[in-house]
Amino acid sequence: MPHQELLREIRRLAAERDALILAHNYQRDEVQEVADICGDSLGLSQEAARTDRSVIVFCGVHFMAESAAILAPEKTVLIPRADAGCPMADMITPDGIRLMREKFPGAPVVTYVNSTAAVKAESDICCTSANAVRVVNSLAADEVILTPDRNLAMYIARHTSKRCHWWDGYCPTHDRLTVAEVQAARADYPDAVFMAHPECPPEILDIADHICSTSGMYVYARQNPARRFIVGTEAGILYRLRLENPEKEFILPTTRLICPNMKLTALEDIRAALLTMSPRITVPADIRERARLALDRMLAVPRD
Ligand code: 13P
Ligand code: SF4
């Protein structure tokens, strides 16, 4: 089916099914194009909870659709590709959390939203890349356990006086960015500013001009007077950065900044999900309630 026709067909089916299409900032360009709302992982789940529509089509990875199902249990949450997982989320299990608690008794567990519902259910509070330092500093404890991302944890540890213990997980996409790649881009574009996601390794964050979440990158690119930006996160973010800032240039330091799971969802998969109303994501009630508590505690942390 030609591209424009497929877009029209998806929009028609979405209206028929009373569905809202959400796409993460790393999705393919055409998926972001057809989506009602694009955003970061937590923002999209909050949109899922806020909408009046009864069906959510979550174009992202499994843990994101799970978060939507936790925050909007009365809605039908569809994930167009059931095989779109997140290797970092799968690097820790509930047993891993229990192991950390045994090792550091009394320390609260702060879990990045890039985690399964079962892991969130074992945690005290969640955080995102946008609010991680604020969440950790809001806790009364002097010592904290951070899971699953070691890079985000090391970033937090540099910005808090609390003693941090962390799990050794990482995002394979962000973790493979090298200092040599950033320096080569800097040599090609000496006037460019370098913004990096906190999932990048510490040696990358050391040379970044600005460190922020994906949603923070849109704000920074809009507000910063620079004409060129080197972007230290997944390639999908370029679509909207370029659309929103046509006069600015965005450079990816390497073509290896691609998350294969984020690229699985194609327009045909969205169409099929709307036609068949599957695959559907559900979270068992006991896990959902405990995971919700960890998310709600995070949402209650005051903004700066
Ligand atoms: P955010 O969009 O929340 O910054 O997350 C980055 C990420 O890696 C999502 O998979
Ligand atoms: Fe997971 Fe990294 Fe892909 Fe995000 S970019 S889904 S953290 S592997």
CA of 140 to the centre of ligand 2 (A): 30
- Per the document, the length of the chain is 304
Instruction: Name the closest ligand to CA 196.
Output: 1
Q: Is the pTM of this model over 0.75?
A: yes
Binding pocket residue ranges, ligand 2, CB within 6 Å: 26, 61, 86-88, 114, 171-173, 234, 259, 261-262
CB atoms within 10 A of CB 240: 19
Question: What are the tens digits of pLDDT across the range 148-164?
Answer: 999 999 999 999 999 99
CA of 248 to the centre of ligand 1 (A): 23
Report the topology of domain 3-84+262-283: Rossmann fold (3.40.50)
Q: Looking at the predicted structure, is the pLDDT value of residue 236 above 80?
A: yes
Which amino acid residue places its CA nearest to atom 2 of ligand 1?
Answer: 40
How far apart CA 266 and CA 72 sit, in angstroms, is: 25
> Taking residues 30-36, what's their average pLDDT?
97
How far apart CA 149 and CA 88 sit, in angstroms, is: 7
How far apart CA 298 and CA 139 sit, in angstroms, is: 11
Which ligand 2 atom is at minimum distance from the Cα of 41? 4
The set of long-range contacts for 209-213, using a CB threshold of 8 Å and a minimum separation of 24, is: 211/155, 212/129, 212/130, 213/40, 213/128, 213/129, 213/130
CA of 62 to the centre of ligand 1 (A): 13
Find the largest Cα–Cα distance for the chain: 58
Strand pairing category for 280-281 and 76-78: antiparallel
Instruction: Name the closest ligand to CA 148.
Output: 2
The set of long-range contacts for 93-102, using a CB threshold of 8 Å and a minimum separation of 24, is: 93/118, 93/119, 94/118, 94/119, 94/121, 94/122, 96/147, 96/148, 96/167, 97/122, 97/123, 97/145, 97/147, 98/122, 100/145, 100/147, 100/165, 100/167, 101/145
Q: Which residue spans of the chain are classified as CATH 3.40.50.10800?
A: 3-84+262-283, 88-169, 173-251
Which amino acid residue places its CA nearest to atom 7 of ligand 2?
Answer: 171
Which ligand 1 atom is at minimum distance from the Cα of 40? 2
What is the predicted pLDDT for the residue at 248? 98
pLDDT > 70: percent of the chain: 100
Res. 304 pLDDT band, cuts 50 70 90 = low
Q: How far is CA 38 from CA 69, 236, 240, 282, in A?
A: 18, 11, 9, 22
CA of 40 to the centre of ligand 1 (A): 6
Sheet with 143-147, strands from edge to edge, namely 125-127, 109-112, 143-147, 163-166
Among 40, 44, 61, the mutation site with the greatest number of ligand 2 atoms within 8 A of its Cβ is 61
Res. 83 pLDDT band, cuts 50 70 90 = very high
Among 233, 261, 265, the mutation site with the greatest number of ligand 2 atoms within 8 A of its Cβ is 261
Question: What are the tens digits of pLDDT across the range 215-226?
Answer: 999 999 999 999
**What's the start-to-end Cα distance of the chain, in Å?**
48
| Token representation of residue 186 | 């800097």
Higher pLDDT, 50 or 304: 50
What is the predicted pLDDT for the residue at 2? 85
| Token representation of residue 170 | 């990482």
| Token representation of residue 132 | 């991680």
Judge contact between 43 and 58, C-beta under 8 A.
Answer: no
173-251: in CATH 2.40.40.20: no
CA atoms within 13 A on the CB side of 274: 25
In 189-252, alpha helices (H): 202-205, 214-223, 238-244
CATH of domain 88-169: 3.40.50.10800
Distance of CA 224 to the CA centre of its chain: 23
DSSP letter, residue 89: G
Binding pocket residue ranges, ligand 1, CB within 6 Å: 25, 40-41, 114, 128-129, 171, 199, 213-214
- In the numeric block, the tokens 């700066």 are attached to 304
> Taking residues 246-266, what's their average pLDDT?
97
Please list the helix, strand and coil fractions of the chain in percent, rounded to the nearest 5, in that order. Answer: 45, 15, 40
Whose CA is closest to 22, among 74, 73, 78, 75?
78
What is the predicted pLDDT for the residue at 45? 86
How far apart CA 144 and CA 137 sit, in angstroms, is: 10
Judge contact between 20 and 45, C-beta under 8 A.
Answer: no
Res. 211 pLDDT band, cuts 50 70 90 = very high
Which amino acid residue places its CA nearest to atom 5 of ligand 2?
Answer: 259
> Taking residues 280-294, what's their average pLDDT?
97
